[in-house]
Amino acid sequence: MPWIILDRDGVINQDSDNFIKSPAEWNPLPRSIEAMALLNRHGFRIAVLTNQSGIARGYFDLATLAAMHDKLHRLLQQAGGRVERIYVCPHGPDDGCACRKPKPGLFQQFAADTGADLRDLPAIGDSYRDLQAAAAVGCQPILVKTGKGRRTLAQHPHLPYPVYEDLYDAAQHLIA
Protein backbone atom coordinates (compact mmCIF):
# COMPACT_ATOMS: atom_id res chain seq x y z
CA MET A 1 0.00 0.00 0.00
CA PRO A 2 1.28 3.48 -0.81
CA TRP A 3 2.05 6.04 1.84
CA ILE A 4 0.84 9.61 2.08
CA ILE A 5 2.52 12.19 4.30
CA LEU A 6 0.51 14.88 6.05
CA ASP A 7 1.50 17.91 8.03
CA ARG A 8 -0.59 18.27 11.20
CA ASP A 9 -1.48 21.83 12.24
CA GLY A 10 -3.41 23.59 9.49
CA VAL A 11 -3.91 20.40 7.46
CA ILE A 12 -5.58 17.99 9.90
CA ASN A 13 -6.46 20.31 12.77
CA GLN A 14 -7.01 24.00 13.29
CA ASP A 15 -3.81 26.00 13.58
CA SER A 16 -3.02 28.94 15.82
CA ASP A 17 -0.22 31.49 15.81
CA ASN A 18 -0.36 31.02 19.61
CA PHE A 19 0.27 27.27 19.21
CA ILE A 20 -2.03 24.33 19.88
CA LYS A 21 -1.13 23.59 23.50
CA SER A 22 -3.65 21.02 24.74
CA PRO A 23 -6.07 18.33 23.62
CA ALA A 24 -8.91 20.83 24.23
CA GLU A 25 -7.29 23.20 21.71
CA TRP A 26 -6.66 20.39 19.23
CA ASN A 27 -9.73 20.40 16.99
CA PRO A 28 -9.92 18.78 13.56
CA LEU A 29 -10.63 20.91 10.55
CA PRO A 30 -13.97 20.22 8.85
CA ARG A 31 -13.76 17.08 6.70
CA SER A 32 -10.14 16.28 7.65
CA ILE A 33 -10.91 13.14 9.65
CA GLU A 34 -13.25 11.98 6.88
CA ALA A 35 -10.50 12.69 4.33
CA MET A 36 -8.02 10.54 6.21
CA ALA A 37 -10.50 7.66 6.53
CA LEU A 38 -11.23 8.01 2.80
CA LEU A 39 -7.53 7.79 2.00
CA ASN A 40 -7.24 4.66 4.16
CA ARG A 41 -10.22 3.05 2.42
CA HIS A 42 -8.48 3.62 -0.90
CA GLY A 43 -5.29 1.92 0.19
CA PHE A 44 -3.18 4.78 1.53
CA ARG A 45 -1.14 4.44 4.68
CA ILE A 46 -0.89 7.75 6.55
CA ALA A 47 2.17 9.26 8.20
CA VAL A 48 2.08 12.63 9.96
CA LEU A 49 5.26 14.72 10.02
CA THR A 50 4.99 17.82 12.17
CA ASN A 51 7.08 20.63 13.63
CA GLN A 52 6.10 21.13 17.28
CA SER A 53 8.36 23.90 18.57
CA GLY A 54 5.86 24.57 21.36
CA ILE A 55 7.72 21.82 23.22
CA ALA A 56 11.07 23.66 22.99
CA ARG A 57 9.33 26.91 23.92
CA GLY A 58 7.85 25.31 27.06
CA TYR A 59 4.20 25.74 25.99
CA PHE A 60 3.45 22.02 26.41
CA ASP A 61 5.31 18.79 27.11
CA LEU A 62 5.60 15.42 25.39
CA ALA A 63 2.78 13.93 27.50
CA THR A 64 0.43 16.69 26.35
CA LEU A 65 1.51 16.15 22.76
CA ALA A 66 0.79 12.43 23.15
CA ALA A 67 -2.68 13.29 24.49
CA MET A 68 -3.33 15.44 21.40
CA HIS A 69 -2.28 12.57 19.18
CA ASP A 70 -4.43 10.15 21.19
CA LYS A 71 -7.39 12.42 20.38
CA LEU A 72 -6.48 12.25 16.68
CA HIS A 73 -6.22 8.45 16.81
CA ARG A 74 -9.55 8.14 18.65
CA LEU A 75 -11.46 10.40 16.24
CA LEU A 76 -9.92 8.71 13.24
CA GLN A 77 -10.70 5.24 14.57
CA GLN A 78 -14.35 6.27 15.05
CA ALA A 79 -14.40 7.28 11.36
CA GLY A 80 -12.85 3.99 10.26
CA GLY A 81 -9.34 5.27 9.60
CA ARG A 82 -5.91 5.32 11.16
CA VAL A 83 -2.55 7.05 11.21
CA GLU A 84 0.28 4.54 11.14
CA ARG A 85 3.20 6.84 11.95
CA ILE A 86 3.69 10.23 13.59
CA TYR A 87 7.05 12.00 13.48
CA VAL A 88 7.64 15.14 15.52
CA CYS A 89 10.35 17.77 15.54
CA PRO A 90 10.25 19.15 19.11
CA HIS A 91 12.97 21.72 18.46
CA GLY A 92 12.78 25.49 18.24
CA PRO A 93 13.59 27.46 15.09
CA ASP A 94 17.08 28.39 16.37
CA ASP A 95 18.09 24.91 17.60
CA GLY A 96 19.89 23.97 14.37
CA CYS A 97 18.37 20.48 14.16
CA ALA A 98 18.08 18.49 10.95
CA CYS A 99 14.44 17.54 11.53
CA ARG A 100 12.66 20.91 11.59
CA LYS A 101 10.94 21.56 8.29
CA PRO A 102 11.99 22.97 5.81
CA LYS A 103 14.92 20.63 6.50
CA PRO A 104 14.20 17.07 5.35
CA GLY A 105 15.14 15.16 8.53
CA LEU A 106 11.61 14.02 9.44
CA PHE A 107 11.11 12.72 5.90
CA GLN A 108 14.45 10.92 5.97
CA GLN A 109 13.66 9.33 9.35
CA PHE A 110 10.27 8.18 8.05
CA ALA A 111 11.92 6.63 4.97
CA ALA A 112 14.61 4.94 7.06
CA ASP A 113 12.02 3.47 9.45
CA THR A 114 9.55 2.27 6.82
CA GLY A 115 11.70 1.60 3.76
CA ALA A 116 9.32 3.86 1.81
CA ASP A 117 10.52 5.29 -1.48
CA LEU A 118 9.95 9.03 -1.14
CA ARG A 119 10.04 9.71 -4.89
CA ASP A 120 6.67 11.13 -5.93
CA LEU A 121 5.07 10.23 -2.59
CA PRO A 122 2.28 12.77 -1.95
CA ALA A 123 3.07 15.14 0.92
CA ILE A 124 0.34 17.57 1.93
CA GLY A 125 1.10 20.76 3.83
CA ASP A 126 -0.18 24.26 4.42
CA SER A 127 3.11 26.13 4.73
CA TYR A 128 5.95 26.83 2.34
CA ARG A 129 8.39 24.99 4.61
CA ASP A 130 6.23 21.85 4.34
CA LEU A 131 6.50 22.07 0.54
CA GLN A 132 10.25 22.76 0.67
CA ALA A 133 10.94 19.73 2.87
CA ALA A 134 8.81 17.46 0.67
CA ALA A 135 10.48 18.69 -2.53
CA ALA A 136 13.96 18.28 -1.04
CA VAL A 137 13.47 14.50 -0.78
CA GLY A 138 11.61 14.03 -4.07
CA CYS A 139 8.08 13.83 -2.70
CA GLN A 140 5.17 15.39 -4.59
CA PRO A 141 4.31 18.52 -2.56
CA ILE A 142 0.63 19.43 -2.34
CA LEU A 143 -0.67 22.65 -0.78
CA VAL A 144 -4.00 22.99 0.98
CA LYS A 145 -5.54 26.42 1.57
CA THR A 146 -6.46 25.66 5.18
CA GLY A 147 -4.26 26.78 8.07
CA LYS A 148 -1.47 28.92 6.65
CA GLY A 149 -2.23 27.74 3.10
CA ARG A 150 -3.87 30.91 1.80
CA ARG A 151 -1.01 33.00 3.20
CA THR A 152 1.50 30.61 1.61
CA LEU A 153 -0.25 30.91 -1.74
CA ALA A 154 -0.36 34.73 -1.49
CA GLN A 155 3.39 34.84 -0.75
CA HIS A 156 4.22 32.27 -3.46
CA PRO A 157 1.53 32.68 -6.15
CA HIS A 158 3.39 30.70 -8.81
CA LEU A 159 3.97 27.45 -6.93
CA PRO A 160 4.55 24.53 -9.28
CA TYR A 161 2.48 22.24 -7.04
CA PRO A 162 -1.17 21.24 -6.90
CA VAL A 163 -3.33 23.40 -4.60
CA TYR A 164 -6.61 22.27 -3.02
CA GLU A 165 -9.18 23.87 -0.75
CA ASP A 166 -8.63 21.36 2.05
CA LEU A 167 -7.45 17.85 2.84
CA TYR A 168 -10.73 16.33 1.66
CA ASP A 169 -10.42 17.94 -1.77
CA ALA A 170 -6.81 16.75 -2.04
CA ALA A 171 -7.84 13.24 -0.98
CA GLN A 172 -10.57 13.12 -3.63
CA HIS A 173 -7.99 14.02 -6.28
CA LEU A 174 -5.54 11.39 -5.06
CA ILE A 175 -8.07 8.57 -5.11
CA ALA A 176 -9.48 9.49 -8.55
Q: Annotated active-site positions, please?
A: 7, 9
Sheet containing strand 85-89, edge to edge, reads 85-89, 45-51, 3-6, 122-125, 140-144, 163-164
Terminal CA-CA length for the chain: 16
Give the span between the Cα atoms of 133 and 101, in whole angstroms: 6
DSSP string, 97-134: -SSSTTSSHHHHHHHHHH----TT-EEEESSHHHHHHH
